Chain A
Amino acid sequence: MVANPKMNERENILGRIREALSVPAPVPGAHSGEPPHAVSECEAATHIPEWLPRVGSTFEERLALFRTNAAELKADFVLLDSPEELIAKLREIAAAESWKKVATHSNALTDGACDALDLPVLRTDNGYDPRDMETCDAGISACDALIAQTGSVLVTSQSAGGRALSVLPPHHVVLARREQLLADLPAAFALLKTKYAPGYPSLISFITGPSRTGDIERILVLGAHGPKKLTILCV
């Protein structure tokens, strides 16, 4: 008998894979009579931006695209001119929805904004009780990037106060800076690599609109398990 059965299964599986791969498979397209294509790993990657949905080259075009995508996703996107305006907007939302308590994390953008709310604040930085966070009316977080191509918000467990803050409260408010607006998905993955590699956060998430489901008769309902509302405030 083998001493470590776990290692044994690993070797068994890898052995079966190697045996199977000893017979080569035709390259993609070979079946359909298309000319066989030499596959190179890096070749494809350089072309991906040319095939994905088009994004304009100027900041204004990207902004317009992000705004259109956000509207289609039923996310609220507001562009503001100063940190004061951002605070005023946040206070306006808090009053309109009669927030009683919010959850957030420490960050240059979130600190000032949450202090100005005059509400009890749960900060996730040094751990927290999920039941406590469940009672919060909003989760207010920073982000790593906004992606014009898809209307997505890129967050990580480092940049956005952990894993639950952006999904547990019923309203997720993202605070972003204009320079965080990226053109497309390849740019977002490049940013992740330069910013974090090799010590990536344990969670990286592309949030595209509020939580949604179509599981009942394919009819769209917002707020299935995560936030019912997603608001992106950008200064």
Chain B
Amino acid sequence: MTPAASQFKKNAIALTADLRHRALIRTALKKYEVVRDDKVSRFQNWQSARQSAAEIKWDAVNHLDAHLIEFARNLEARGTQVHWASNAAQAREIIIGIIQERKAHSIIKSKVMTGEEIHLNEALEKAGFDVVESDLGEYIVQLRHEPPYHFVFPAMHLTRGEISDLFSKELGTASTDSPEELTMIARRVLRDKYIAADIGISGANFGIAETGMISITENEGNARLTCALPKVHIALMGIEKVLPKLEDLALFLPMLATAGAGQVMTGYNTLYGGPRQPGEADGPEAFHVVLLDNNRTQLLADPEQRDALHCIRCGACLNVCPIYKNIGGHAYGATYQGPIGAVITPHLRGLQQWKHLSFASSLCGACTQTCPVKINLHHHLLQSRRNAIAQKPVWWEKPLFQGLAFLFNHAGLFSLGMKLGRIGQVFYPLVKGTRLDPASAWTKSRELPKIAPQTFREWWQTRK
């Protein structure tokens, strides 16, 4: 087993038995399906909207080279600097280079999952910069030095009491059990940071090829402030995020809000098309867009699973996933959790190291059914299982099935096996639960089924 797989197994075993943890996830997600269904029902035709969104994304991803060229050309035409990074190290280098060139020190960040993917915060801190996350959930998990628990709701696993204790310890504030007061503490602390920051770093939910703009979706206004006050704005964006046309957002913005958090529209949906333009009151002097591949082209090269690049990171598949609801976000050990994470992580970080995520699924298909851009998620998990085994067969599987085939093809041998099994199970309790138990993997948490005193064949013969 790879280190990632054994860590996953360890986490999953511990967390499924943690009733307090499971109750927390249930509380956090119980309202989600109700509010989402309410907003879905307001659409005149949600299923057609899904199909249309899938088609627009199909076009975007299957003509990605042309759209990216148009996107970059239109951004550059209005004074934005576009950078291309093949991998995480290059992206970090580009961003650190921009900051050093500015002789800047303090950085304010709005939520950027690609930043988690390339471990940007660690790199910026190591380079000696001050980095503060401004999204409330991200700020909380940054203070705790842990990764986001959910890529839409980063601090979903914490109670107000834990957050209050954290703020008391890190910020010296009085303890409170009011979410409103806790939010206001963060608001006060972060206000100064926005105004003092030299650099604002954001992600991008969409890139618009036609007009050369990035689109950021958020509820708090923290991205708005991050992109308004500092002198430099750097946006880190995966190459798959481009959409062909501006009006495509008329569909994607309400769908993202609905699928993501059961909202009609997210609080702020903002397009940024350049640095401060002549005649404008404010805005950054410089705007940089860093386009990140980091193995997205590996996924693109698999036509069967290419539609996983349609993902708009709404998190809907996590919210409905029975596995996610039982093990939570940290157990995966990957930047992107849940079904979409299980599909893309093997492509981004290696199939053999991450194939275990494809097996950690009941294949119920809730994810596929809920996905607003119709990614065929649970089929992709099956395909990854197939691909992983084809690439690296498990040595004992083939002889095992050959042996079983032989047994099932020989009636005499089969009934002899049944008789021996019935004798064997009398003595089984002697080894049950010990190291000699041949079925220990099964009996750790379940009873071994008993062989019936009479098989069907034996009964059939007596009946005649």
Contacts and interface: CB of A to CB of B under 8 A. Distances in A.
Interface of A: 6, 9-10, 12-14, 16-21, 23-29, 31-32, 37, 39, 41, 44-45, 47-48, 50-54, 69, 72, 105, 124-128, 130-131, 134, 150-152, 157-158, 161-168, 184-186, 188-190, 192-193, 197-198, 200-219, 221, 223-227
B119 interface: no
A44 B224 contact: no
A52 B53 CA distance: 12
A84 B13 CA distance: 68
A131 B195 CA distance: 7
Given A44-B56, A47-B48, A206-B270, A218 B153 contact: yes
A9 B82 CA distance: 12
B44 A53 contact: yes
B219 A212 contact: yes
Contact of B239 (A13, A25, A200, A221): A13
A125 B282 CA distance: 9
B183 A224 contact: yes
A25 B303 contact: yes
Interface stretch (B241-249, B337-345, B429-437): B241-249
Nearest to B380: A31
B22 to A, nearest CB: 15
Interface in B268-287: 268-277, 279-283, 287
Interface of B: 27-28, 31-32, 42-46, 48-49, 51-52, 54-59, 61-65, 68-69, 72, 78, 83-86, 90, 134-137, 140, 153-156, 158-160, 163, 179-180, 182-184, 186-187, 190-191, 194-195, 211, 213, 219-222, 224-225, 227-229, 239, 244-251, 253-254, 261, 263-277, 279-283, 287, 291, 293, 297, 300-301, 303-304, 306-307, 374, 376, 379
B30 to A, nearest CB: 9
SS class, residues of chain A in contact with chain B: loop
A84 B366 CA distance: 56
Contacts, number: 319
24 contacts: A24-B62, A25-B304, A44-B52, A51-B45, A54-B44, A69-B264, A124-B281, A127-B282, A152-B265, A185-B249, A189-B247, A197-B211, A202-B274, A202-B276, A203-B227, A207-B268, A212-B220, A215-B140, A215-B153, A219-B179, A223-B187, A224-B221, A224-B222, A225-B220
B159 A217 contact: yes
Contacts of B264: 53, 69, 72, 150-151, 208
Nearest to B49: A51
B58 A25 contact: yes
Nearest to A27: B58
A47 B52 contact: yes
B249 A51 contact: no
Contact of B267 (A44, A200, A211): A211
B273 A201 contact: yes
A13 B291 contact: yes
B42 A207 contact: no
A28 B51 contact: yes
A125 B281 contact: yes
Contacts of B224: 163-164, 166-167, 205, 225-226
Given A208-B265, A224-B136, 11 more contacts: A16-B300, A50-B45, A51-B251, A53-B43, A54-B44, A162-B280, A164-B225, A193-B246, A201-B277, A202-B287, A218-B153
Given A28-B374, A213-B136, A130 B195 contact: yes
A185 B43 CA distance: 13
